[in-house]
Structure formats: structure tokens, C-alpha cells
Chain A
Amino acid sequence: MKSLAFSLSFACTLALAVAAAIIWFSGESPLALWEALRASLSSEGLGYTLFYATPFVFTGLSVAVSFHCGLFNIGAEGQLYMGTLAVIATATALPHLPPGLAIPLGILAAGLGGASWGCLAGMLKAWRGSHEVIVTILLNFVAYSIVDYSILYLYRDPVSQSPETLKIPGTFSLNTFDELLSPFSVSLFRSTPANLSLVLGIIVALAVGFFLFRTRWGFELRTVGANARVARFAGMNSALSTILALSLSGGLAGLVGVNEVMGHEHRFIQGFSPGYGFTGVAVALLGRNHPVGVICSALLFGLLHNMSREIEFATTHVSKELSLVIQAIIVLAVATQPFLVSLLKRRSRGRAS
């Protein structure tokens, strides 16, 4: 955990320094970065930061779980759309449920929707030996097509110009923090879409941590990830672990639908995700595949995503893509960190001798 904190702060410092240099080279004050950061942490900015962090928690966990089983799931983007579609299908099919039933059912649907898609990749990997990277990437496109078809021909809002579904019944909505705080006249999170899905995300992260490190199934999953042959020799079913890992991974990605549909838009807007699934890989990498680390790095990525907007407000010429540059540098810094650290150590050792 200490090394994680070190690597995070090292990566962030490096990235912010480079970003500040870029702003300075483009002829503007590097302080704009500070301003954007401050705005992203102000009452409204914080709400959006948390809102964007929520899907990153889910997709980060999704990728992390597959990593623990030695698998690389790049299909979180498709899985999260399938999860979202499942929420819409459930809510449309069962419009008269009481909230006490509707909300757990919606969450379950999101998870199962994503899990089914992950399971498909898992079965192909376990029984046919198809490489999961290829399969999950390609299944993304199948998912996009299914989702597009469903939005346009099954659930479409006929009066809207944009391709989006009708609103789901109100019983399926999760409260936003703003709504929860409104009786206390607190101005925090005012009119932002940050909602209870974040709490769900944290609970799920803890559950994933418990599953991975405290249960037999989690142990088998990690053992298969460490060395599948040894695991088989020890009598573990590596095929089952593979399927389980990718199903779980898909299910976690599918929960993004809870944040988007039940917490925020109450409808499925085609193409709502700005690449949550793919960024999930970076989130998991940065969080060292540990659930707590994933939460921390998801918060960071939520902040950076929100900052892309604030950077445009704080500067004249610098565009929102600077935030992607910062993200990329953070990832690079984390990935190359062992190398950099050993380089530094060798140098200091050389100097000492």
C-alpha cells in the first residue's frame, strides 16, 4: 500500500509538471492548471468528479478481476453497454414494481447483462482456447450492434432527434447526493448527477476484495492467474476459474449502467460512454489491481476527466485533450516506474561507490 501511494504521487507529480510545461510553452500561465484543479474540486466540480469516478470504479474493478486470473479483458466497453441495455429491458418489462424491488432488480440486471457478455468470452477462452484479448475486443463490436439495434428499434423515444430510449419508470431511480442533501440545505453537489451508485461501487469494491483474498474461489482464481498448470496440478478447475473471472469482470463493467441509467439520465443515450471501459484498463493498472487502489485511481481519473472541461474554461488556447495527455503520462509513469526506480538506485549506488 505504501509503494502504491508512492507510485501514485510520483506519477501525478510528473504528469502535472509536464502538463504545466505544455501550458507554459503554449504561452499561458501554468497556474491555469491549478485553477482547473480547484474548479474540479469545488462544490459542483466535486459532484461531477464523483459522477465520473463511479463508472471508473466499476470498469477498473472489472479489468482488475480479469488481471488477477491472468486474463486481459478489453471488452469492458461492450459489457457496460450490455449491462445498460439489460437495465432498460428490465425496467421496460416491469414498469409497476415498487422501488424496494425495482432497484435491486435493476442492479442485478445490469450485472447479469454485463456478465453474460463476459461469460461468452470466458467460455470461448476456457473451452476453445480462443485468445481473450481478441475475443473481448471483437465482442465489443457485436455488443455495439445489439445495443444500437435495441435502442433504435425496440426502445426508441419516437419524438427525440437523438438516438435514445424512453425514460424508465421513476421507481428504478437511485437518488443523487443533491436530492439526499436537499432537506439540509447543503450546497455541496448542487445539481450534479453524482448519485448513490458511487456507494454501490465502494460496497462492490470491498466485496470484490473479500472474494479475491478471503474465499476459496478467489484463491483458485488467483492461482490460475499465477500459473494455470500448477493450479491444474493442484486439482483446481482452471476452465471454471477462467469463465468465472471473465463473467465477474463483465458483470462489474455492466454496473456502469446503474450509474448512467438509474442514477443519472433515466434513459439509454446511444454512445453515452466516453470510453469508460478502455480507461478502466488504466484505472486498474494504476490501482495495482487492488480494490482499494482501484477506488483511489478511479477518483483520480474522474477528476482528470472532469478537468478536461475545466481546462478549457481556465485557458484560452489549450484544449480539453490536455487531460488525456495527463492521463497518458500518469499511466506511462506507473508502467515504467520499476525501471525508473532501479535506474535511480543504480545511479545512487554508483555514486556511493
Chain B
Amino acid sequence: MLKALLFFSILGFSLSAQAAIKVGLVLDKGGKDDKSFNAAAFRGASEAEKKLGITLKTVESSDDTALEPSLRTFSRKGYDLVIGVGFAQLNPIKKVAAEFPKTHFLLIDSDAGSPNVRSVMFAEHEGSYLVGVIAGMKSQTKTVGFVGGMDIPLIRRFEMGYRKGAESIGGITVVSNYVGSTSDAWRNPTKGKELALAQISKKADVIFAAAGTSGMGVFDAAEEKHVFAIGVDSNQNWVKPGTILTSMLKHGETAVYQAIEDRNANKFTAGLVSMGLSDGGVGYALDEFNKPLLTPAILKKVEEVKKQIVAKQLKVPDYYSIKPPQ
């Protein structure tokens, strides 16, 4: 009897120990309130904390040098899964993952290629293609705009998908601008607005903003001039209902949640994971805020295109296949 009790108590102990895995989340300079990608990762991790009962610890970093010691501190403290968000963490994760081969890591937006790291990259071009189709169909002037944040391959990938999607409608002109070529480009709404106004003066009446916080300026311009804007990363339809046509969704939260869930169930796998339309990694947002804006014809068309992409009947041109990232 005593033995059985002891057995169960040990079992119970080991079960409870297994249930509460420790997850460390390292955000980059954007921080958890960037309303964009870091925010999405934080959302996913918080949801996992609520639903799976894991222990979550989040740290932000004041400069890029601080990323590596943050990752290392988590690893040394025996965290089971350490998550790094953003391509700036590529080299730090590679280094720390080699020092702690038994710890599992998740890297988002870059491929580490280490044996204990799961790297998640999103097929941004596929989601952008869909919102491009929506933009092309909605446009009265047959001109649509693109405002990118920082001019890097990642955002070029958004642009290319969007452009091809819009052009697939026929007779559409795409005008495109970038806020800048430094990381300040993510947080310059004034310039975002200026660029959007310039594009509107060139007859653009739908503008896709893949520009972090600078996108808020694009939304302002669109509202002022009564044209449409398209949001990015998180669902931004609620920001300006009636102006925001849709949002290109990049489900960072899904990637984070899934990795935590897998680690929690001891099913964590390392390697490169590509999340596209077929597995819900990217998509377009449809909710009560933008439903009145999207006609049944648009919805029918975009769902059709989505099916074609998922079924691999339609291949969306990928900027990375022209210029592969590191």
C-alpha cells in the first residue's frame, strides 16, 4: 500500500514536473507592444501560458548585444524552450544553441540550421498575393500602392507577392515606395503618411502598408483621402473600420503556440518549418469591420485563388528564390 502510494506520488510529481515546462521568450528591440510581430509572438506565448499551464518569462532587449546573454541566461537556468523573435537573433541563437545542445530553441523569420533549433519562416508572398488580388479588384482607378517599411529582402518579398496578385486582375498599375533603409523606417508614421499621400496623388486608391508602425501614417492618409488601406502581420482591421480593406496576416502567434505545445507534449522537432497558406501560417483577415467592404465577387475570387495556391496549381513568385536570404 505504502509502495503504491509512493509510486503514485512519484508519478504525480513527475507528471506535474512535466506539465509545467519553462519557456523563455526573447523579443527584439520592437518589444511586446509593437502591435505587429513581437506582439504576435507574445500573444501566442501568453495563450500557451493560459491554456497549457506552462511557465512563461519574457524579456525585451535594449540593444542587439543584449540578445545573446538573454538567450544564454534562459538556457543556463534550465528553460526547456527558448524562443527568439526576428532575424536579428539568427547569430545569437546559432551560438547559444551550440553551447546548450539539450535545450530546444525556436527562431522566427530566419533559418538557423542548428540541430536543436526549429526555424519558422512564413510564406509572406502567398498572403501578399491574396491581398494583392483583393486590392486589384477593389481599385476603381486601376492603380494600387505599396508602402514598405525598411528596404530589405523580407519586405521585397511582400511587395513582389502583392504586385503579382494585383497584376493578375489585369490592367492594374502598382506604385511602390519604401519608408527607408534603416530600422528607423519601422517607426516613422509621418513619412509613411507622406508616401501614401504621394501615391494617392498618383491615383492609387488601395495601399498596402508593410511598414510596422509607419503603417499607421498610411492608414491616416487613406482615411483622410477616402481611399482604402491594407494592414499587415496582425489583424489591423479594427484600427480604422471602413478604411482598412483587409490585413495580410502572418501568424507568428501560431508558430510560437505550436512550438510550445509540441515541446510540452515532448514532440518538439527541430529544422526548418515553412508556414504558408496551406497550413494557416499566412492569410487575409475577414471580420465584422471589413465585411461591408468586400463584395461577394471579391471574396469568391480570393477564395478561388487561395485554393489554387494551396493546391499548388498557382505558384506565387518568391523574391527569396531570386535573392536568397542568409
Most chain-B Cβ atoms within 10 A of its Cβ — which of A51, A308, A309?
A309
Residue total for A at the interface (Cβ-Cβ under 8 A)? 28
Flag the segment in A10-18, A110-118, A126-134, A155-163 that touches B. Answer: A155-163
The contact of B57 among A305, A308, A313, A319, by CB within 8 Å, is A313
The contact of A270 among B63, B182, B326, by CB within 8 Å, is B182
- Kindly supply a per-residue 1/0 record for chain B positions 160-204, scoring 1 wherever the CB is within 8 Å of any chain A CB and 0 otherwise: 000000000000000000000111100000000000000000000
In the bound complex, do residue B61 and residue A309 qualify as a contact, i.e. CB atoms below 8 Å apart?
A: yes
Flag the segment in B3-11, B69-77, B251-259 that touches A. Answer: B69-77
B150 proximity list for chain A (CB < 8 A): 163
The complex places the Cα of A227 from the Cα of B190 at a distance, in Å, of 45
The minimal Cβ–Cβ distance linking A153 to chain B, given in whole angstroms, is: 9
B16: CB under 8 A from chain A? no
Across chains A and B, the number of contacting residue pairs, with CB separation under 8 Å, is 70
The contact of A161 among B64, B69, B110, B182, by CB within 8 Å, is B110
A44 proximity list for chain B (CB < 8 A): 69, 72-73
B266: CB under 8 A from chain A? no
A320: CB under 8 A from chain B? yes
The minimal Cβ–Cβ distance linking B291 to chain A, given in whole angstroms, is: 36
In the bound complex, do residue A271 and residue B60 qualify as a contact, i.e. CB atoms below 8 Å apart?
A: no
In the bound complex, do residue A274 and residue B182 qualify as a contact, i.e. CB atoms below 8 Å apart?
A: no
A162 proximity list for chain B (CB < 8 A): 87-88, 152
How big is the B interface, by class?
20 to 34
The minimal Cβ–Cβ distance linking A314 to chain B, given in whole angstroms, is: 10
Chain A residue nearest to B152 in the complex (CB):
A161
In the bound complex, do residue B65 and residue A193 qualify as a contact, i.e. CB atoms below 8 Å apart?
A: yes
A51 proximity list for chain B (CB < 8 A): 65
Chain A residue nearest to B109 in the complex (CB):
A161
B154 proximity list for chain A (CB < 8 A): 161
Chain A residue nearest to B61 in the complex (CB):
A309
B34 proximity list for chain A (CB < 8 A): none
The complex places the Cα of A270 from the Cα of B153 at a distance, in Å, of 17
B325: CB under 8 A from chain A? yes
In the bound complex, do residue B183 and residue A271 qualify as a contact, i.e. CB atoms below 8 Å apart?
A: yes
In the complex, 15 of the A-B residue pairs with CB atoms within 8 angstroms, ordered by the A residue number, are A44-B69, A44-B72, A148-B182, A152-B181, A152-B182, A161-B154, A162-B87, A162-B152, A163-B183, A269-B64, A271-B182, A309-B66, A309-B69, A313-B57, A320-B59
Binding site for B on A (CB under 8 A): 39, 44, 48, 51, 148, 152, 159-163, 191-193, 264, 269-274, 305, 308-309, 312-313, 319-320
Binding site for A on B (CB under 8 A): 57-66, 69-70, 72-73, 87-88, 95, 99, 110, 150, 152-154, 181-184, 324-326
